[in-house]
């Protein structure tokens, strides 16, 4: 990629620097994908993902203090014991800032790297369900108060409060316990990415955060509503699950500068993308005429493809008279909505996509009233309407603001005080799951009020099960 140091790919110092910048910028968490296979054109660009998600985040954990870190870990080719151990270790190392994006693998190239072929989709999801339950059980194999190290007496832990899990399903299993005490947040937070019927079930059952594959604000709203409805139907409080629709930003003083930056960074791929755009618009387009806008005849003949939800937006941009190159620079065939231009546009997009403020986020002392003196980008922060503000995986004391100007507030009451880590969400969820796994034991011994209430509702169960885990 021109203008980008290709050596960055192997520089952990750079990864830490980027994370520190995100932390300074009040980002709530980093989301790190995983794709253990080589793709793309190595002649012109390094692989799109980090060298290794867990090792990268281990470096980031040591160079940051507040930002959350969500890493992707596939359940298709990893054993739950390995996942449980690595994520818990990272959670301990980072003082409780970690989430696990549990995914099934869908690329045959990855399967081939494990000497395998991809299992059928149903089977992948059965294994995913078993894996998440075994991982959570392993994370809960130490009671919350099992670890009481005392340097004076030399006491380390109470063995009576550390127990095996003895879970075995059709695909995975583990005896446990994990050789790791609880982290400061109890255990990592589960994330799910992507929609689909099966993905929704995973999200409803385990997730506290969902990264949506959304193309438009309307799409994001529809997915979020579907998620909330399904969560309710599954007996969970929909507010426990935070939905994060994707957004790709290229910030610049104006649209032209934003498009030029995108062209400089990714323009070399545009000739190959013209074919895809042509399909979306139902036209024949010539990659050799990238600098020309569509003709009046082409615009009249264009029909958005019913098979690609991004097509109407692509046609709208084309009708604005941009050249073919600029249409592509608008990101019309990217995986999330693209904002190329001033930060305020990105802020307005996020604000437009967020739900109306029904109630204040916990502890927030700001009102959600937008006044004429506030630019929209600061209101986004102050009104706490963004899901990230109340997310459970970071200890940040302020909500994110993407405004270049200081948040418009006084210094004594200007921050949203966020519940640092939402153990109660996990506890409630674990308590509502039957049959109980050892994870419920963690709940059993937790002194917090939510657990107390759960106990009184008769949800106090602890059992070492040899039965197959629930699917
Ligand atoms: C935002 C987002 C991020 C994802 N990240 C990864 C990833 O890092 N690694 C991976 O193997 N799959 C990743 N996926 C793929 C999904 O987990 C899932 O496998 C895919 O959506 C196919 O789901 P399906 O089999 O239910 O159709 C991601 C999906 C989305 C929407």
- The answer to whether position 148 is within a domain reads yes
Domain with 283 in it? 250-335
- 383 vs 367: CA distance, rounded Å: 6
How many C-beta neighbours within 10 Å does residue 451 have? 23
Selection from 355, 445, 430 nearest residue 138 by Cα: 430
Name the 3-class secondary structure at 24.
helix
Examine the domain organization and report whether 214 and 82 are in the same domain.
yes
Do 164 and 306 belong to one domain?
Answer: no
Cα of 385 to ligand 1 centre, how many Å?
Answer: 27
Q: Following CA atoms 90, 94, 95, 96 in sequence, which dihedral angle do they give, to the nearest 10 degrees?
A: -60
* Alpha-carbon radius of gyration of the chain: 24
| Atom in ligand 1 nearest the alpha carbon of residue 213 | 31
- DSSP per residue, 283-346: S---GGGTTSBPPHHHHHH----TT-TTHHHHHHHHHTT-BHHHHHHTTTTSSS-EEEE-HHHH
**How far away, in angstroms, is 335 Cα from ligand 1 center?**
12
272 and 220 within one domain:
no
Residue nearest to atom 31 of ligand 1 (CA): 194
- 355 pLDDT band, cuts 50/70/90, is low
Do 316 and 168 share a structural domain?
no
Query: If you take atom 28 of ligand 1, which residue's CA is the nearest one?
Result: 193
Rounded distance between C-alpha atoms, residue 222 and residue 215, angstroms: 11
Does residue 153 lie in a domain region?
yes
Task: Single out the residue in 216, 246, 276 at which a domain terminates.
Answer: 246
Yes or no: say if 212 and 101 are a contact pair by the CB < 8 Å rule: no
Å from CA of 33 to ligand 1 middle = 9
**Highest mean pLDDT of the ranges 122-126, 349-353, 403-407, 439-443:** 122-126
| Ligand 1 nearest-atom number relative to CA 33 | 8
- 246, 281, 297 - which closes a domain: 246
Same domain, 118 and 14: yes
| Distance spanning both ends of the chain, measured CA to CA | 44
pTM recorded for the entire structure: 0.76
Count the domains in the chain: 2
Rounded to the nearest 5°, which phi and psi values hold at 394? -135, 155
Q: Is 50 exceeded by the pLDDT of residue 401?
A: no
- Taking only the tens place, the pLDDT of each residue in 163-204 is 999 999 999 999 999 999 999 999 999 999 977 899 999 999
Q: What is the pLDDT of residues 272-310, one digit of tens each?
A: 999 999 999 999 999 999 999 999 999 999 999 999 989
> Does 64 fall in a domain?
yes
Domain boundary among the residues 320, 335, 350 is at 335
Question: What's the rounded Cα separation, in Å, for the pair 371 and 188?
Answer: 39
Residue 49 alpha carbon, nearest atom of ligand 1: 8
**Closest among 370, 371, 382, 386 to 410, alpha carbons compared:** 382
d(CA 383, CA 357): 8
């Amino acid at each position: 990629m021109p203008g980008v140091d290709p050596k960055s790919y192997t520089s952990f110092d750079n990864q830490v620097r980027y994370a520190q910048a995100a932390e300074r910028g009040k980002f709530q968490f980093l989301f790190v994908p995983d794709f253990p296979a080589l793709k793309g054109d190595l002649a012109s660009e390094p692989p799109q993902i980090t060298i290794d998600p867990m090792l990268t985040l281990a470096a980031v954990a040591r160079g940051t203090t507040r930002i959350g870190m969500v890493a992707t870990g596939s359940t298709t080719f990893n054993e739950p014991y390995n996942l449980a151990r690595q994520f818990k270790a990272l959670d301990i190392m980072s003082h409780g800032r970690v989430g696990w994006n549990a995914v099934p693998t869908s690329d045959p190239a990855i399967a081939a790297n494990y000497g395998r072929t991809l299992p059928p989709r149903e089977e992948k999801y059965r294994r995913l369900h078993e894996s998440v339950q075994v991982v959570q059980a392993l994370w809960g194999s130490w009671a919350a108060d099992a670890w009481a190290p005392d340097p004076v007496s030399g006491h380390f832990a109470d063995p009576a409060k550390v127990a095996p899990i003895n879970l075995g399903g059709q695909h995975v299993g583990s005896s446990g316990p994990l050789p790791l005490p609880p982290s400061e947040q109890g255990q990592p937070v589960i994330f799910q990415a992507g929609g689909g019927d099966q993905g929704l079930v995973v999200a409803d059952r385990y997730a506290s955060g969902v990264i949506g594959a959304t193309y438009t604000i309307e799409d994001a709203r529809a997915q979020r509503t579907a998620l909330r409805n399904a969560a309710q139907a599954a007996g969970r409080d929909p507010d426990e699950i935070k939905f994060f629709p994707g957004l790709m930003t290229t910030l610049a003083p104006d649209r032209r500068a934003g498009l030029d930056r995108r062209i400089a960074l990714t323009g070399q791929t545009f000739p190959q993308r013209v074919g895809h755009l042509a399909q979306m618009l139902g036209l024949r387009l010539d990659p050799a005429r990238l600098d020309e806008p569509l003709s009046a005849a082409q615009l009249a003949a264009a029909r958005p493809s019913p098979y690609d939800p991004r097509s109407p937006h692509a046609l709208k941009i084309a009708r604005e008279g941009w050249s073919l190159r600029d249409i592509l620079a608008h990101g019309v065939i990217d995986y999330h909505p693209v904002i190329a231009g001033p930060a305020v546009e990105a802020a307005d997009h996020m604000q437009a996509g967020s739900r109306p403020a029904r109630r204040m986020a916990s502890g927030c002392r700001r009102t959600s009233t937008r006044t004429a003196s506030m630019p929209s980008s600061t209101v986004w922060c102050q009104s706490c309407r963004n899901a990230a503000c109340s997310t459970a995986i970071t200890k940040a004391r302020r909500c994110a603001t993407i405004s270049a100007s200081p948040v418009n507030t006084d210094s004594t009451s200007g921050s949203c005080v966020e519940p640092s880590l939402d153990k109660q969400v996990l506890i409630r969820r674990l308590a509502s799951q039957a049959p109980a796994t050892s994870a419920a034991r963690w709940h059993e011994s937790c002194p917090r009020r939510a657990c107390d209430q759960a106990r009184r509702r008769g949800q106090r169960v602890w059992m070492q099960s040899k039965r197959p885990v629930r699917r």
